[in-house]
């Protein structure tokens, strides 16, 4: 069974203003994890004391990655000159869903969709089937 979102659109919700500190913090968060990962990988190459060197180099990589990320985040923020001085969250909601199921579970899918409370945005088209791909099973919209 597959649930397919149709007519997807990108929605960007503004969560607040971003200043120099927010840009640096966002950049530091983005650079810390890759820095720690690269430091840990370099720590794997040390044969003398691998456990300590892995952890120590991962910590150094985390700090270095956070510093570089903060500087780059701040640099990008200043270069934009206020054109994008807000923080936002993006998501992609579909306008409708399509359920595609094999013949063996199609009746169960219709029953489960019919049990959903009204107002959830689901419609089963009064139980009629749309068969867009006959070999894979019918689809309920």
pLDDT along the chain (141 residues), means of 10: 83 83 87 89 75 82 93 88 77 83 83 71 47 46 51
Q: Collapse the DSSP code of 81 into the 3-class scheme (helix H, G, I; strand E, B; otherwise coil) and give the result.
A: coil
Q: Which of 130, 123, 137 is nearest to 95 (CA)?
A: 123
The pLDDT score that the predictor gives to residue 120 is: 53
User: Phi-psi category of 107—alpha, beta or left, where left has phi over 0 and alpha has psi -120 to 50?
Assistant: alpha
Query: CB-based burial of residue 73 (10 Å sphere; 0-12 exposed, 13-18 middle, 19+ buried)?
Result: buried
Q: Which runs of consecutive H residues, i.e. helices, occur in 7-133?
A: 20-44, 50-80, 106-115
Model-level pTM greater than 0.75? no
């Amino acid at each position: 069974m597959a649930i397919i979102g149709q007519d997807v659109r990108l929605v960007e919700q503004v969560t607040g203003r971003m200043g120099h500190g927010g840009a640096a913090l966002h950049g530091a968060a983005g650079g810390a994890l890759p820095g720690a990962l690269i430091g840990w990988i370099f720590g794997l190459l040390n044969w003398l004391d691998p456990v300590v060197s892995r952890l120590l180099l991962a910590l150094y990589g985390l700090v270095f990655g956070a510093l570089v990320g903060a500087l780059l985040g701040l640099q990008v923020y200043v270069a934009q000159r206020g054109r994008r001085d807000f923080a936002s969250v993006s998501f992609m909601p579909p306008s409708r869903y399509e359920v595609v199921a094999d013949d063996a579970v199609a009746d169960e899918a219709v029953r489960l969709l019919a049990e959903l409370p009204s107002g959830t945005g689901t419609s089963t088209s009064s139980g009629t089937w749309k068969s867009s791909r006959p070999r894979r099973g019918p689809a309920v919209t």
